[in-house]
Amino acid sequence: MSTTKNIILWIISIIIMSGFAVYQRTTGPTYPFSGKIEIKGEKIKFSLPRTHEGNTDQKVFVVVKNKDINGEMNYRRHPSHDDWTTISMIRSEDSLIAYIPNQPPAGKIMYDITLIDSGGNKTKLSEKPVITRFKGVVPNWLLIIHIIFVFSAVIFSTRTAFEALFKGKNLVKLSLITLVLMFFGVVIFGPIMQYYAFGEFWTGWPLKGWLNFGDLTDNKSAVMFLGWLIAYLKIRKNPDKKIWIYIAAFITIATFLIPHSLMGSEIDYTKMKK
């Protein structure tokens, strides 16, 4: 393989990884719910949070300059049989503010915001309640290391698939590097992050029961790693079995097309006392 082709393939691999990074950052159930409405001639933009880190109450605010417009929040634990709690939002200069009571890690609250004009007309910011999930504090150093390993693994996964496609000579070497990056990213640092965030190292299948698949993030990470483990073992034994590289790379792509935190850890409040 020529140097020029090699460089081009690395650049393409990095671009693909960057696309996945943006997609993961801007999708999923923890990405803020944003929109805009108009009340009494005022255009109001809002961004409602859907995740909260730490042991403080979660602040939710909407910038509303018109002092004649008030707001209220309805909330309850999710999933639960709780009754809805309604609180009035507090005005602070140009913002209406409300606080969601803190929950244990993996606890969720569903809420909605309603703005009320001087005539008593009510406007909800969302058609359906927004769900926010609470979690523990993940150290920045751990998050950075995890991200570096995981996205480096994606780059090498893509580049390894190109190596197989264009019949390169470094297929076994690149497969091994991909596997090692996957190991540290999702097998070592992934569970440590999970522990900091939700108090458990593993919440995937079959920890919650054979018929309960648990945390999808844990499960898809395990499948991705196992895919590359099998691919490396097969390709090391017989470099012509490139199909296993394609399968592992496809699993990696499919994994990153699943929004982050989808079907993630949660507390089932229906099985707990109020």
- Split at pLDDT 50, 70, 90, the class of 263 is low
* pTM confidence score: 0.84
- Split at pLDDT 50, 70, 90, the class of 152 is very high
How far is Cα 187 from Cα 244, in angstroms, rounded to an integer?
A: 21
Residue 150 scores a pLDDT above 60: yes
Please, which residues bridge with residue 108 across strands?
78, 133
Residue 208 scores a pLDDT above 80: no
Please, which residues bridge with residue 53 across strands?
135
Residue 195 scores a pLDDT above 80: yes
pLDDT, residue 181, reads 97
Question: Is 154 in contact with 252 (CB distance < 8 Å)?
Answer: yes
Question: Per-residue pLDDT averaged across 132-141, rounded?
Answer: 95
Residue 71 scores a pLDDT above 80: yes
Q: Which two tokens stand for residue 153?
A: 């693994």
CB atoms within 10 A of CB 70: 17
For 215-225, how does the pLDDT look when each residue is reduced to its tens digit (9 = 90+)?
A: 677 888 889 99
Average pLDDT, rounded, for the chain: 91
Task: From residue 83, give the alpha-carbon distance in Å to each of 47, 55, 274.
Answer: 25, 23, 10
- Domains parsed from the chain with CATH numbers: 3-27+138-271 (no CATH), 33-135 (2.60.40.10)
pLDDT, residue 199, reads 87
Burial readout 260-274 (b: 16 or more C-beta within 10 A, e: otherwise): bbeebbbbebeeeee
CB atoms within 10 A of CB 58: 21
Question: Per-residue pLDDT averaged across 149-161, rounded?
Answer: 96
